[in-house]
Amino acid sequence: MEKAAVRALNKTALWLKTQAAKEISEEKKIKLTVMRKRLRIFKAKTSRLDVLMRANLYDIRVSAIGKMRQTRKGAKVGKHKFIGGFMATMPRGNSGVFRREGRTALPIQEVKLGLEPEASKIIKELVNYETEGIFEKYFERELNYIVKV
């Protein structure tokens, strides 16, 4: 019984991770692989019957989203346009899209894309409304498997 619960919890957590990554990447128009790397699962064991999912929802550097292109008005990365932004390679070798903070040349800041309000809302909705049904489905399946074997 306990083994079935652990397996069902872990499968539910994996389902939650894939669904959350899929919905957030569609919402924010970023690559799915970028979101998958930012979600992490700590699986359940027979000694600890709970699953933790850690979501790194800090701002993403725009250069990690996709291919960068310089345009007349600014820079374009994937499906996002950044007016006033420019591509540059820093002395240490990291390249990205930057934007000037003032009128002078040097205070520049790397452009980042925020995930926070939408991403946490998507994860919260998935946890509150859909995980129970998914867990029940997986739990029944695992119980049937254990009974057969």
* Cα torsion through 26, 129, 142, 51, rounded to 10: 80
User: Which has the closest alpha carbon to 24: 125, 90, 115?
Assistant: 115
Look at residue 123 and give its three-state secondary structure.
helix
Q: What is the pTM of this model?
A: 0.83
What is the number of other CB atoms lying within 10 angstroms of the CB of residue 34? 16
Condensed to tens digits (0 to 9), the pLDDT of residues 84-142 reads 899 988 888 888 899 988 888 888 889 999 988 899 999 999 999 999 999 999 999 99
Structure tokens at 7: 């397996």
Condensed to tens digits (0 to 9), the pLDDT of residues 18-72 reads 999 999 999 999 989 999 999 999 999 989 899 999 999 999 998 888 889 999 9
* pLDDT of residue 149 exceeding 80: no
* Domain parsing of the chain, residue ranges: 2-57+115-148, 61-113
